[in-house]
Amino acid sequence: MNIRIPWNLQPKAFYPYTSVVLDRIFTVHYKPHDEISQLEDELVKLFQQEVSPRVQRDNKIVFEFVDENRKSVFFGFYDWVFAIGFACSGAQF
């Protein structure tokens, strides 16, 4: 599985700690050090640069992107599950 972020998605917000993706359209289990785990590392670095230097990896985190129409899509990582969806629970920074 090769996951790439579409060019039209821009980082918007980071949801730390116990945040989860809702209205899911995709869910998959993953393992430490696999391709999805690497994606999580890349998103942490991207959001540290684009959103806040306080972004950090945790067991339940969500990244919010917006497209050119300002519609949000959420990428979430929690308990070795990766999900993509259209809503999120949790406080952002």
Query: For the chain, which residues make up each domain, given as ranges?
Result: 11-89
How does pLDDT run across 21-74, given as a tens digit for each residue?
999 999 999 998 889 989 999 999 999 999 999 999 988 999 999 998 999 999
21 or 2, higher pLDDT: 21
DSSP 12-60: EEEE-SS-EEEEEEEEEE--TTSHHHHHHHHHHHHHHHHT-TT----SE
pLDDT for position 52:
94
Residue 91 has pLDDT above 80, yes or no: no
- The pLDDT assigned to 26 comes to 95
